[in-house]
């Protein structure tokens, strides 16, 4: 048809699936390594992982983390070892969710959840302290009234997220290299990329691949 081919193209689009999602009503699945609001993890026995070393505060490019360490009380230690994070604050008006704190942490104490939809109405609410950041006794992040948690956002918050294959090196694929945590134990590793692609793991990637393959 030559010049009129364009009409066919636009007409066919009507039947094709939409690219856009009606956002607040319907949400796209988040990638496994999505950077969201932080959590402070605990070991399986309930001890906090944070040792108050301030490496996260040092590496933070936005300078949004404030940490003050303290010696563990001998009778009731908060973390295994000598010191623990006595004060831990993150200012979410500054945080850029770059995940460098997570990379810097030697004990996998700070990691990120999938939650990114939270808005506060005053500055004080924007500063999260240990009361909000440390996971609850069942190992799940504490949910604040202004946070919009969806199913699955609070899972996969552990160091598993960053440690599946350090530096993208395939040698480390499938090897467990993270400590256990409260409520979950030691998490199993992700299948290697070839297996995951076969099983069509994450809906996000399936979606983009389908679109590209058209």
Partner 1 sequence: MHLLLAAASTATGGDPLFAKGIGFAVFLIVAVKVAVTFVVLLVATMLMVWFERKVISDMQNRVGPDRAGRWGILQSLADGTKLFFKEDLLPERADRRLFRLAPYLSMVPAFLSFAIVPVGGIVSVFGHHTRLQLADPPVGILWLLAMSSIAVYGVMLAGWSSGSKYPLLGAVRASAQMISYEATLGISVVAVVLVTGSLATSAIVAQQSSLATINLIRLGVVPFVLFWIAATAELNRPPFDLVEAEQELVGGFNTEYSSVRFALFYLAEFMNTITMSAIIVTLFLGGPNGPHFGLAPTSFLAAWLLPVVYFVAKVMVFLFCYVWFRATLPRFRYDQLMDLGWKVLIPLSLGWLLVIASILAANTTAEKIRNLAIAFVALIVAGAMLLRSLQLGKATVSEEDLHS
Residues 19-48 that bind partner 1 (CB under 8 A): 19-22
**Candidate ranges 5-13, 37-45, 127-135, 144-152; the one touching partner 1 (CB under 8 A):** 5-13
The pair phi, psi for residue 154, each rounded to 5°, is: -90, -5
| Residue appearing with tokens 């990379």 | 103
- Judged by beta carbon, residue 6 or residue 58, the one nearer partner 1 is 6
Residue from 6, 31, 46, 106 touching partner 1 (CB under 8 A): that is 6
Binding partner 1 (rule: CB under 8 A), the pick from 1, 2, 9, 167 is: 9
127-128 β-sheet, strand order: 65-71, 83-91, 127-128
Closer residue to partner 1 (CB): 21 or 136 = 21
Exactly one of 1, 11, 124, 214 binds partner 1 (CB under 8 A); that residue is 11
Q: Considering only CA atoms, which of 66, 70, 122, 109 is closest in space to residue 89?
A: 66
**DSSP element (H, E) containing 205:** helix 203-212
The reply to whether 208 sits near partner 1 by the rule CB under 8 A is no
Using the minimum distance from each CB to partner 1, give the nearer residue, 15 or 188.
Answer: 15
16 lines the binding site for partner 1 (CB under 8 A): yes
Residues 206 and 162: beta-carbon distance below 8 Å? no
> Does the protein bind partner 1 through residue 131 (CB under 8 A)?
no
Beta strands in the chain (DSSP E): 38-40, 65-71, 83-91, 110-112, 127-128
- Count the Cβ atoms, other than its own, within 10 Å of residue 120: 16
Residue 213 binds partner 1, judged by CB under 8 A: no
Tell me which residues touch partner 1 (CB under 8 A).
Answer: 6-7, 9-11, 13-14, 16, 18-22
């Amino acid at each position: 048809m030559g010049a009129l081919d364009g009409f066919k193209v636009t007409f066919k689009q009507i039947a094709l699936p939409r690219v856009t999602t009606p956002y607040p009503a319907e949400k796209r699945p988040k990638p496994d390594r999505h950077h969201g609001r932080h959590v402070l993890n605990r070991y399986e026995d309930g001890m906090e992982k944070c040792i108050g070393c301030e490496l996260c505060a040092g590496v933070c490019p936005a300078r949004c983390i404030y940490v003050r360490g303290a010696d563990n009380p001998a009778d009731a230690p908060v973390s295994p070892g000598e010191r623990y994070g006595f004060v831990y604050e993150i200012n979410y008006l500054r945080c850029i969710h770059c995940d460098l704190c997570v990379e810097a942490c030697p004990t996998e104490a700070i990691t990120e959840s999938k939650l990114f939809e939270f808005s506060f109405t005053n500055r004080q609410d924007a500063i999260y302290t240990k009361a909000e950041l440390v996971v609850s006794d069942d190992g799940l992040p504490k949910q604040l009234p202004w946070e919009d948690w969806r199913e699955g956002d609070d899972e996969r918050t552990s160091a598993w997220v960053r440690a599946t294959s350090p530096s993208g090196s395939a040698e480390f694929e499938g090897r467990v290299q993270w400590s256990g945590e409260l409520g979950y134990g030691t998490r199993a590793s992700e299948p290697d990329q070839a297996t995951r692609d076969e099983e069509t793991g994450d809906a996000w990637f399936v979606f983009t691949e389908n679109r590209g393959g058209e």
